């Protein structure tokens, strides 16, 4: 495994590895993904193996354009079409009726497929080079913190990856928002596009009412650091319990903690989202007994960050 700066030559090398049945970590505007050609089941199986990901958790398929989309999904409904026109390329994943050519391993046997059209120039250049859809979950061990830098990928997956393309920090720092439009528009995972922005196009979004996992990030525990994490108002934590703990907070500081990561001193949720996983990686690396996370406002991107914190705390 090697980390290469993402340039024309390294992207071409990554494309050759993918076309030869390999797996490559690459940057997107959300987080780094671990990709294999979607129509190569043996390569896709390597992604599951490298991540230790359960086979019941489906992958997201990345496409370059509408022509490539037609290879993996059937015709878009009216609402899905409006969302695609408004948010693609970008950090929106749509769950659509899949074409028969998509291997069952990619979709965990479901008749639907999660698809997105990334906007990151490296991801798009890689898709153009391979001229085929790429199945790519986040490039991290299953259930752990998502990677927003190439170094996070290398630390988490190491030699399990054939190549890592390095393009610096991810722009959004949160995974894509996932929506299904069948039978009604439903939010499956809050993410880098605020729910309010999607509802402005699609109308009110329903919430899933149980059933099988239809998209990534729906398990009750996920996105967790190795250090136990809890969501708690720091002002309620006695000073005696702060000395060996780290604190993640939006903008307010609290004394007595061994380490502090402030996401945005201006209280800007977009800035906070971009720094979110980076801050958790930094706290996790300090060998602390615990991470306390102050609750965030559950509006805009705060909803997605609180979703990640709740699932991380459930694992602890």
Q: Is 247 domain-assigned?
A: yes
Q: Considering only CA atoms, which of 196, 283, 289, 188 is closest in space to residue 237?
A: 289
Residue 237 and residue 181 share a domain: no
Residue 83 and residue 48 share a domain: yes
Q: Compute the distance between CA of residue 299 and CA of residue 303 in angstroms, rounded to an integer.
A: 5
Residue 76 and residue 187 share a domain: yes
Q: Is 290 domain-assigned?
A: yes
Reading the chain (316 residues) residue by residue, the pLDDT tens digits are 689 899 999 999 999 999 999 999 999 999 999 999 999 999 999 999 999 999 889 999 999 999 999 999 988 989 999 999 999 999 999 999 999 999 999 999 999 999 999 999 999 999 999 999 999 999 999 999 999 999 999 999 999 999 999 999 999 999 999 999 988 999 999 999 999 999 999 999 998 876 666 677 677 777 899 999 999 999 999 999 999 999 999 999 999 999 999 999 999 999 999 999 999 999 999 999 999 999 999 999 999 999 999 999 997 5
Determine which helix (DSSP H) or strand (DSSP E) holds 92, and give its type and residue range.
Answer: strand 92-97
Residue 33's domain is classified under what CATH number? 3.90.870.10
Q: Compute the distance between CA of residue 308 and CA of residue 70 in angstroms, rounded to an integer.
A: 32
Position 4 scores a pLDDT of 85
37: β partners: 134
**How many domains does one find in the chain?**
2
Q: Compute the distance between CA of residue 112 and CA of residue 199 in angstroms, rounded to an integer.
A: 22
Residue 190 and residue 43 share a domain: yes
Token pair in block for residue 57: 């958790």
Residue 11 and residue 126 share a domain: yes
Q: Is 239 domain-assigned?
A: yes
Pick from 142, 167, 202: which residue ends a domain? 202
| DSSP per-residue codes, 140-185 | SSTTBPPPSSHHHHHHHHGGGSSEEEE--S-SS-SPPEEEE-SSS-
Residue 166 and residue 44 share a domain: yes
DSSP letter (8 states) at residue 38: T
Token pair in block for residue 1: 């495994």
62: β partners: 116, 134
Q: Is 223 domain-assigned?
A: no
Residue 69 and residue 132 share a domain: yes
Q: Is 128 domain-assigned?
A: yes
Q: Is 289 domain-assigned?
A: yes
Residue 303 and residue 254 share a domain: yes
Residue 289's domain is classified under what CATH number? 3.40.50.11030
Q: Compute the distance between CA of residue 30 and CA of residue 150 in angstroms, rounded to an integer.
A: 13
Residue 198 and residue 63 share a domain: yes
Residue 289 and residue 157 share a domain: no
CB atoms under 10 Å from CB of 255, counted, come to 8
Instruction: List the domain range (segments joined by +) for residue 28.
Output: 3-202
Residue 254 and residue 191 share a domain: no
Q: Is 86 domain-assigned?
A: yes
Q: Compute the distance between CA of residue 217 and CA of residue 314 in angstroms, rounded to an integer.
A: 13
Residue 242 and residue 163 share a domain: no
Using the Cα atoms of residue 217, residue 218, residue 219 and residue 225 in order, give the sign of their dihedral: positive
CB atoms under 10 Å from CB of 136, counted, come to 27
Position 1 scores a pLDDT of 63
Q: Is 213 domain-assigned?
A: no
């Amino acid at each position: 495994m090697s980390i290469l700066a993402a340039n024309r030559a390294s992207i071409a090398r990554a494309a050759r590895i993918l076309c030869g049945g390999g797996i490559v970590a690459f940057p997107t505007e959300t987080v780094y993904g671990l990709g294999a050609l979607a129509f190569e089941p043996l390569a896709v199986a390597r992604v599951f193996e490298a991540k230790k990901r359960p086979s019941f958790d489906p992958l997201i398929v990345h496409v370059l354009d509408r022509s490539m989309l037609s290879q993996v999904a059937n015709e878009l409904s009216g609402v899905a079409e409006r969302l695609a026109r408004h948010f693609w390329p970008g950090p929106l994943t749509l769950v659509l009726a899949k074409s028969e050519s998509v291997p069952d391993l990619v979709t965990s046997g479901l008749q639907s497929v999660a698809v997105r059209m990334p906007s990151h120039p490296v991801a798009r250049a890689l898709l153009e080079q391979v001229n085929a859809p790429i199945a790519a979950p986040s490039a991290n061990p299953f259930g752990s913190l998502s990677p927003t830098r190439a170094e996070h990928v290398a630390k988490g997956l190491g030699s399990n990856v054939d190549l890592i393309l390095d393009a610096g920090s991810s722009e959004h720092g949160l995974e894509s928002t996932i929506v299904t439009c069948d039978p009604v528009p439903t939010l499956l995972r809050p993410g880098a596009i605020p729910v309010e922005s999607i509802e402005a196009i699609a109308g009110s979004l329903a919430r899933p009412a149980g059933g099988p996992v239809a998209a990534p990030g729906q398990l009750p525990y996920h996105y967790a650091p190795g250090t136990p994490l809890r969501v708690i108002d720091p002002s309620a934590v006695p000073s005696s319990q702060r000395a060996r703990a780290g604190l993640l907070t939006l903008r307010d500081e609290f004394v007595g903690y061994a380490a502090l990561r402030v996401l945005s001193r201006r209280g800007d949720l977009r800035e906070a989202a971009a720094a979110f996983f980076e801050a958790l990686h930094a706290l996790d690396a300090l060998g602390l007994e615990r991470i306390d996370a102050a609750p965030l406002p559950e509006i805009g991107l705060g909803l997605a960050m609180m979703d990640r914190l709740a699932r991380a705390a459930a694992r602890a």
